[in-house]
Amino acid sequence: MARYPSKLYGITGFPLGHSISPALQNWAFQERRFPGVYLAWPEPPEKLGAFFQAVRTLPVSGGNITIPHKEASIKYLDHVSARAKSIGAVNTFFWRDGELWGDNTDITGFLGPLKGRSFKSALILGAGGAARAVIAGLKEIGTPEIIITNRTFAKAQELAAFFGAEALPWDERGKPRADLIVNATSMGMSGRQEDQNPYEESWMRGREGLAYDIVYNPPQTLFLKAAEASGWKTENGLAMFVGQARAAFALWTEGLEMPREAAMQKAAGLLGL
Ligand code: NAP
């Protein structure tokens, strides 16, 4: 290993104050004795073009892209993966043969905890950026029925048309008999939405399924508490978060593995969970 880091990585988004990605990726570089260093680059939208110019001239070896740049970054890249193309959003960039590529590892992260599982019908709560990765992932594993419900119905309709799924008014979300319910809203996340539950316990009673909350802080949201009380299996968003980070790490290091269990513990510690 080089004595000093020789490869530069980082995350851009705006604002970036909450991101634990720098601490997690720097930890992984050290764990794997890889000569990388990962910084936080908060850049407002009007500076995104200049940012990618800097990526090409410094050069920067790779990075992550988060809200609000996931869609707008595509035009600054030479290529994007089929996955990123399928949802029109990138969260990771890296170099291959002198060309700058974009990929979307949120889909990989979302699918991680679902390995070996299949569902007859999935109900997706929310229609924001994260819901796109959720729906693309469920399409990829061949989920026959995908129903999207959202407070702003027009956004559910837009996503349903884009992915060939069904849109359902928010007030009717208790009706479908889905065996997978994914919370892709920000309801339940720490802060002012922590006391919000997007899906009532009584709607889950009398049947079985998996409740998957992509929110990871707190680890047990009101939605997951309600699901557990109804006898449903549960999954929180920590494995998704760590999964997207591991997949990005592998792209930058040409296949080095970020150790999964240790990364889960590290991420939980960084979040104070
Ligand atoms: P976003 O684009 O801002 O979308 C937010 C969604 O939440 C929208 O569908 C919005 O509905 C809905 N919503 C917010 N407040 C609501 C309320 N009071 N009642 C009903 N619906 C409400 O955000 P995002 O990027 O998709 O992220 C959503 C959540 O996923 C966040 O909590 C984020 O932390 C989490 N996430 C986790 C991971 C992970 O790796 N585990 C990755 C990405 C995101 P409207 O359209 O009506 O506003």
Give pLDDT tens digits for 44-86.
Answer: 999 999 999 999 999 899 999 999 999 999 999 999 999 999 8
Per the CB < 8 A criterion, the answer to whether 233 and 209 are in contact is: yes
The finding on whether 216 has its CB within 6 A of some atom of ligand 1 is yes
Q: What percent of the chain has pLDDT over 90?
A: 92
- Report the candidate in 245, 263, 4 with the shortest Cα–Cα distance to residue 105: 245
Give 189 Cα–ligand 1 centroid separation in angstroms.
Answer: 9
The finding on whether 183 has its CB within 6 A of some atom of ligand 1 is no
Other CB atoms within 10 A of residue 198 CB: 24
Q: Which one of 7, 47, 70, 266 is the catalytic residue?
A: 70
Per the CB < 8 A criterion, the answer to whether 93 and 43 are in contact is: no
Per-residue model confidence (pLDDT) at position 14: 95
Give 225 Cα–ligand 1 centroid separation in angstroms.
Answer: 19
Per-residue model confidence (pLDDT) at position 56: 97
Per the CB < 8 A criterion, the answer to whether 103 and 89 are in contact is: no
70 is catalytic: yes
Per-residue model confidence (pLDDT) at position 118: 94
The finding on whether 108 has its CB within 6 A of some atom of ligand 1 is no
Give 120 Cα–ligand 1 centroid separation in angstroms.
Answer: 24
The finding on whether 110 has its CB within 6 A of some atom of ligand 1 is no
pTM beyond 0.85: the answer is yes
Q: For residue 129, what pLDDT band results from cuts at 50, 70 and 90?
A: confident
Other CB atoms within 10 A of residue 36 CB: 22
Point out which residues pair with 147 in neighbouring strands. 123, 166
**Ligand 1 pocket mutation, candidates 185, 241, 273, criterion most atoms within 8 A of CB:** 185
Task: Give me the sheet containing 92-96, strands edge to edge.
Answer: 36-42, 7-13, 62-65, 92-96, 99-103, 79-80
Residue 243 one-letter amino acid = G
Q: What is the mean pLDDT of the chain?
A: 96
The finding on whether 28 has its CB within 6 A of some atom of ligand 1 is no
The finding on whether 212 has its CB within 6 A of some atom of ligand 1 is no
Nearest-atom number in ligand 1 for the CA of 109 is: 40
The finding on whether 13 has its CB within 6 A of some atom of ligand 1 is no
Give 43 Cα–ligand 1 centroid separation in angstroms.
Answer: 21
Per-residue model confidence (pLDDT) at position 2: 56
Q: For residue 1, what pLDDT band results from cuts at 50, 70 and 90?
A: low
**Ligand 1 pocket mutation, candidates 110, 186, 271, criterion most atoms within 8 A of CB:** 186
Nearest-atom number in ligand 1 for the CA of 129 is: 26
Q: What percent of the chain has pLDDT over 70?
A: 99
Q: For residue 272, what pLDDT band results from cuts at 50, 70 and 90?
A: confident
Q: How many CA atoms lie within 13 A of 240 on its CB side?
A: 24
Residue 135 CB burial class (10 angstroms; 0-12, 13-18, ≥19): buried
pLDDT tens across 156-197, in order?
A: 999 999 999 999 999 999 999 999 999 999 999 988 999 999
Q: Whose structure tokens read 């998957």? A: 212
Token pair, residue 45, equals 């939208």
